[in-house]
Amino acid sequence: MGYVDKTIDAHYGDDHLYSVWMKDNDLYEGQVLFTTEAPMGNVAQVPDNNKYILSQRTIAFVPDRSVISDNFLAVVLSASKCQKSLINRASGGTAKGVSQKTLSEISLDIPQSLSEQDKVSELIKKLSKIITLHQ
């Protein structure tokens, strides 16, 4: 799964740019971010409640949190099954990408229980950290 890399040079915007680009859509901690192309399919979660300006080809999901948790959404979007489905539906020449419409047509396997989603996503995140440490 991706992450917001704070070690690279950041591009800062002022309050005016933020209000024009983000309008009334402040991001929240844990919100799922997704790149639609160049590269397609990177998934990350907003690390804190600072104000961030999304770049082009990056979307922030606003899920119905009574149906799916942000953490589980991030895990399922990063899963190979979902990534393969996205690759199969991608369009474009040099830079393959997916539209929001295509994303809305992707079928996800979601446990009905939010507590089960939390357990699954927590386990996957722990395993990912262990794998990263041993690479």
Q: Which of 57, 67, 66, 63 is nearest to 32 (CA)?
A: 63
Question: Which range of residues forms the domain containing residue 85?
Answer: 15-133
Among 57, 58, 60, 85, residue whose Cα is nearest residue 73:
60
Element (H, E) at 10: none
The pLDDT score that the predictor gives to residue 53 is 92
For the domain that residue 25 is a member of, what is the CATH number? 3.90.220.20
> What is the number of domains present in the chain?
1
Digit-coded pLDDT (tens) for 50-96: 999 998 899 999 999 999 999 999 999 999 999 999 999 999 888 88
In a domain, 115, yes or no: yes
Q: Is residue 33 part of a domain?
A: yes
* pTM for the model: 0.88
User: Per-residue pLDDT tens for 26-58?
Assistant: 999 999 999 999 889 999 999 999 999 998 899
Q: Angle between the 80-89 and 70-78 helix axes, to the nearest 10 degrees?
A: 70
> Across residues 10-17, what is the average pLDDT?
88
* First-last CA distance in the chain: 15
User: Does residue 8 register a pLDDT over 90?
Assistant: no
